[in-house]
Amino acid sequence: MYPDLSYLFHDLIGTEPDNWLSIFKTFGFFLLMAFLTAAWLLKIELKRREQLGQFKGVKTIVAPGTAIKPQDYVINGLVGFILGYKLPYAFAHFEEWKQDPGSVLLSTDGNLLLGLLAAALFVGYYYWLAQKEKDQQPKTLDIYPSDRIGPITFVAAIGGLIGAKVFAVIEYLPQFFANPVHTFFSGSGLAIYGGLIGGTISVLWYLRKQDITILPFTDAVAPALIVSYGVGRIGCQLSGDGDWGVAAGPQPDWWFLPDWMWAYNYPNNVIREGIPIDGCELEYCTQLAAAAFPTPFYETVMAFAIGAILWSLRKRLTPIPGLLMALYLIFNGIERFLIEYVRINDQYDVFGLKLTQAQLIAIGFVLVGVWLAWYARKRATAT
């Protein structure tokens, strides 16, 4: 397993594990790749739909000196302060940073003087840009949704991370009440469906604010969402973040794929769960006592398969806005509902059935998807 990038490079080029690359955790890296993948695919699809006339450009006059607003100074000053306050402290406590980047970066410890200096530099740089703009001529631009990919991705990331953490806290309330601050701000414990819901709410807010047509946008983002989900699950599988399944049991005679695809013991997993690995002297030296179903791998395969289906249907379903998103919700809900039967999660008694939080949300996804399919077809027929 690759709890951080030092272990990955050890296998690729033979460098020593637990070196400075340990600050880059594998799951975090693939989470970043998931957001970038989603942004890339969304931009491609938005441009195609813009050419078809589903989205209209908004004429915007950019006057000299107005591109940089007062809030830009505040935001970038804050960013500069955080970087100056935390990074020197993190490097001064490098060993702790390698062990648990989240606890170091999210602590209140830091260098106040360097934070203020970095804030001043960031604000000064934006002031210089504003002065430079004053020499330019006013210009009129057509701004399309594809030109707003950066803000959309940022809003989705913030809302998604908050939603993922909130839903994880709800599922494990005793741990939260025992230590609220550490539980909420720790880097572990993220609920995928919470991330989807939180990201959706924040993006819908942004779309309404920018007057972007919602249904065609949801269709444009549907393939990107499921493919990026698969990319994120690669990070779960490679890092061993605890999203594995239940103990797999004996491999059946009919199984023809590699053994690890049936059962895997996740050596060197990032959460250090299991039993010690004989002879291991690294930072991460545990593996599962009983090999488990590699459910992140299964979800990656299913996510990419669903993504391929949605991508192949996107042009055919363009005349019915909302239908592609409906299919995404249905496929996503079915996939997650089924995979939960071999995953380790708390179950709730619902009308005599034992269901996990994810299964309850998955049922909701399917129901909303069915309703949205009916609504989209009815709306298309009426127009």
Nearest alpha carbon to residue 137 among 64, 245, 241: 64
- For residues 81 and 140, which has the higher predicted lDDT (pLDDT)? 81
Q: Is a pLDDT exceeding 70 seen at residue 28? A: yes
| Cα–Cα nearest to 335, from 304, 314, 313 | 304
Tell me which amino acid residue 105 is: L
pLDDT band at 188 (very low <50, low <70, confident <90, very high): very low
pTM of the predicted model over 0.85: no
* Virtual torsion, Cα 201, 204, 209, 214, nearest 10 deg: -170
| Residue 48 identity | R
CA distance 183 to 178: 9
Under 8 Å between Cβ of 277 and 287: yes
Mean pLDDT over 146-172 rounds to 81
Q: Once rounded to an integer, what is the mean pLDDT over residues 21-35? A: 89
List pLDDT tens digits, range 232-261. Answer: 999 999 999 888 999 998 999 999 999 999
Which residues on adjacent β-strands are paired with residue 343? 245
Q: Residue 187 — very low, low, confident or very high, per pLDDT cuts 50/70/90?
A: very low
Average pLDDT over residues 284-303: 96
Distance CA 319, CA 6 (A): 48
From residue 213, alpha-carbon distances to 57, 153, 221, 239, 280 in Å are 11, 17, 13, 38, 56
Q: What is the pLDDT averaged over residues 184-211? A: 75
Provide the pLDDT for residue 189: 46
N-term to C-term CA, the chain: 54
CA 154 to chain centre: 11
For residue 252, CA distances in Å to 232, 244, 255 come to 29, 19, 6
**β-pairing verdict for 139-143 and 58-62:** antiparallel
Query: Would you say the C-alpha torsion 132, 74, 28, 295 has a positive or negative sign?
Result: negative
| Residue 61 banded pLDDT, cuts 50, 70, 90 | low
Mean pLDDT of 333-362: 88
Q: Any bridge partners for residue 58, and if so which?
A: 143
3-state secondary structure the chain: CCCEHHHHHHHHHCCCCCCHHHHCEHHHHHHHHHHHHHHHHHHHHHHHHHHCCCCCCEEEEECCCCCCCHHHHHHHHHHHHHHHHHHHHHHHCHHHHHHCHHHHHCCCCCCHHHHHHHHHHHHHHHHHHHHHHCCCCCEEEEECHHHHHHHHHHHHHHHHHHHHHHHHHHHCHHHHHHCHHHHHHCCCCCCHHHHHHHHHHHHHHHHHHCCCCHHHHHHHHHHHHHHHHHHHHHHHHHHCCCCCECECCCCCCCCCCCHHHCCECCCCCCCCCCEECCCCCCCCCEECCCCECCHHHHHHHHHHHHHHHHHHHCCCCCCCCCHHHHHHHHHHHHHHHHHHHHECCCEEEECCEEEEHHHHHHHHHHHHHHHHHHHHHHHHHHC
277 versus 181: the higher-pLDDT residue is 277
**Distance (Å, rounded) from C-alpha 320 to C-alpha 313?**
12
Identify whether the C-beta of residue 18 lies closer than 8 Å to the C-beta of residue 98: yes
**For the residues 149-160, what does the mean pLDDT come to?**
87
Q: Answer yes or no: is pLDDT of 180 > 70.
A: no
Task: Give the residue-averaged pLDDT of 134-139.
Answer: 68
**Cα-flanking dihedrals φ and ψ of residue 243, to 5°?**
-85, 20
Indicate the average pLDDT of the chain. Answer: 86
Mean pLDDT of 192-218: 87
> How many angstroms separate the CA atoms of 317 and 380, rounded?
11
What tokens appear for 183 in the block?
A: 């539980």
Distances (CA, A) of 238 to 8, 31, 296, 297, 353: 9, 12, 9, 9, 33
Is the confidence at residue 316, as pLDDT, over 80?
A: yes
Place of tokens 């004989």: 278
